[in-house]
Structure 1
Amino acid sequence: MIDLTGRTVYVTGAARGIGAAIARTLASAGGRVGLLDVDAERLAATADALGPSVAYAVCDITDPEQIAQAAARLQRALGPASGLVNNAGRNAYADPVQMTTDEWEEVFDVDLKGAWLMARAVLPGMKAAGGGSIVNIASLHASQTCRGMFPYAATKAGLVGLTRSLALEVGAHGVRVNAVSPGYIETDLLTEYFGHHPPDVRKAALHKHILGRLGTPSDVAAVVAFLLSDLSGFVTGADWAVDGGLSARFD
């Protein structure tokens, strides 16, 4: 049902995990997909696997100059962006007293500032075209979190706030901005997270899911594709939980 024919969507953090699944889903729906990531080798492999409707640019999304160069390259290859998925991010495990200001800024640069810089790069074209859709990949940690994840929850809460604020700023131009907040999704980042905790943490996490399983990158990608499509034409400023019902539980 989702048709993205004629749309060009840029996806950050697209070399693997959720980003690669999003790119695959969008290409399957007929979209032209621009992939961005700092991992050149994996990025090239992902692009090759997805076929001729995909182009890629190695890019550090915390660097405005690299973003400008990458956006220009993707626009030449695919056309201006009618959609953007801010997926790039990193986990953070820090003590709030021991963490340095440099470490703090490194986390916020990737998880929050990078989303703004990418939006800033593509919004002029979207506004000129009279429409577009931006999807920010936040996290369940934006609304509820756990010990040992400082300051990850702060960055993701900020990203949801950025989503609402940006939606208000650009709505009059026909541009929609939404967030998707995944829960436990089977990715390398989740493996890293469980690696920082005792083995029973994974078992407890699985038990809390109403649907009885952890999520997959494709579960997230399907919701993202919907939010990029005309099927969600009256949806903006919203945060969509993709968490198997985890956030619906009290116990």
Structure 2
Amino acid sequence: MKLQNEHVFVTGGASGIGAAIVLDAVQQGARVSFCDIVVPAGEAYAAELTAQGFKVMFHQADVGKFDSLKTAHDAIVKELGPITGLVNNAGVNSNADAVEMTDEEWNKFFDVDLKSVWHTAKLVLPSMRAAKKGAIVNIASIHARMTYPKYFPYAAAKSGVIGLTRNLALDEGIHQIRTNAVSPGYTLTPLLLSWFEMLPEKKAESMAVQPMARMAQTSEIAKVVTFLLSDDASFVNGADWIVDGGLSCRFA
């Protein structure tokens, strides 16, 4: 019960890695709130966990819009108390051409994948500073270091997430607030599985380069995140934890 008495807030918690983080956090004793843009899935997941006796709250939010995030934050804090652990998990993918991508598309994408990480911190840091305690975990990606053709917005955003993580670690460490990043590799989320269903040859190609001959389960990413949220990681600050089964060790 390493997160007992903590209030953990997870963005994009209705499915995939986010849902796995929500589950692991409640199993470790935390009160957990989460937001998502997909309301039916969020409500159903919260009801399922509540029925199992966990303290869980869902609130709809579009992380790309500060007012939407603030509304969710204020409602959640009113119900469950100040947030002591934040997980910035929400994000979207971007496959684009550097010439054809528009400014509008770029801005909308970065609002979700990078700007929201600042916005959530802006909301939770005042209470964390007052308490002289807190932990933030930002979900980045191995795309920050090694990437794929036409993923330039995604690689740029995830590199930005790691840079923001480092600066928050420096700026907030004096308040005993730790900020770290987790960079997953191939993880068996519903999004990845649907991509493999459409393009079976990509699954074969991807499996062929996995050093452990498999891809990550969402629960394996979640356990790293909850460790970083806990006091077991009390002196881990400003780090980027690569959780890719060794994929980024491979020479192209």
**What is the TM-score when the length of structure 1 is the normalising length?**
0.95
Cα deviation, 1:160-207, whole Å, max 9, x if unaligned, reads 1110011111000000000000000011232355478x5332212112
Cα deviation, 1:148-167, whole Å, max 9, x if unaligned, reads 32311111011111100111
Quick one: which of 91, 94, 97 aligns to 2:96?
A: 94
Cα deviation, 1:82-121, whole Å, max 9, x if unaligned, reads 0000000000011010000000111111000011101110
For 1:191, the equivalent position in structure 2 comes to 193
For 2:234, the equivalent position in structure 1 comes to 233
Runs of 4+ in structure 1 off by over 4 angstroms are 192-196
State the AA in 1 paired with 2:236.
V
For 2:202, the equivalent position in structure 1 comes to 201
- Give the distance between the partners of 1:189 and 1:42, measured in 2 at CA: 15
- Give the distance between the partners of 2:135 and 2:248, measured in 1 at CA: 26
Matched, 1:62 2:61: no
Contact 2:65–2:111, Cα closer than 8 Å, also in 1:
no
- Give the distance between the partners of 1:68 and 1:90, measured in 2 at CA: 20
Cα deviation, 1:136-155, whole Å, max 9, x if unaligned, reads 00011011001132311111
For 1:176, the equivalent position in structure 2 comes to 178
For 1:7, the equivalent position in structure 2 comes to 6
Cα deviation, 1:1-38, whole Å, max 9, x if unaligned, reads x5100000100000111100100000000000011111
- Give the distance between the partners of 1:223 and 1:207, measured in 2 at CA: 25
Unaligned runs of 5+ in 1: none
For 1:23, the equivalent position in structure 2 comes to 22
DSSP 3-state at the match of 1:160? helix
Matched, 1:40 2:39: yes
Of the structure 1 ranges 241-250 and 186-195, higher mean CA displacement relative to structure 2 is found in 186-195
Q: Displacement of 1:76 after TM fit? A: 1.6
State the AA in 2 paired with 1:207.
A
Contact 1:142–1:156, Cα closer than 8 Å, also in 2:
yes
State the AA in 2 paired with 1:102.
E
DSSP 3-state at the match of 2:241? strand
State the AA in 1 paired with 2:79.
A
For 1:214, the equivalent position in structure 2 comes to 215
Cα deviation, 1:45-75, whole Å, max 9, x if unaligned, reads 1111112410111111122222221111111
Q: Percent identity?
A: 47
Contact 1:91–1:189, Cα closer than 8 Å, also in 2:
no
Quick one: which of 80, 83, 106 aligns to 1:81?
A: 83
CA RMSD of aligned residues (A): 1.3
- Please list, as runs of the form range in 1=range in 2, the aligned pairs for 1:127-138 lying within 5 A after superposition: 127-138=129-140
- Give the distance between the partners of 1:209 and 1:239, measured in 2 at CA: 20
**What is the TM-score when the length of structure 2 is the normalising length?**
0.95
For 1:143, the equivalent position in structure 2 comes to 145
Unaligned runs of 5+ in 2: none
Contact 2:64–2:108, Cα closer than 8 Å, also in 1:
no
State the AA in 2 paired with 1:217.
T
- Give the distance between the partners of 2:196 and 2:106, measured in 1 at CA: 22
- Give the distance between the partners of 1:167 and 1:100, measured in 2 at CA: 33
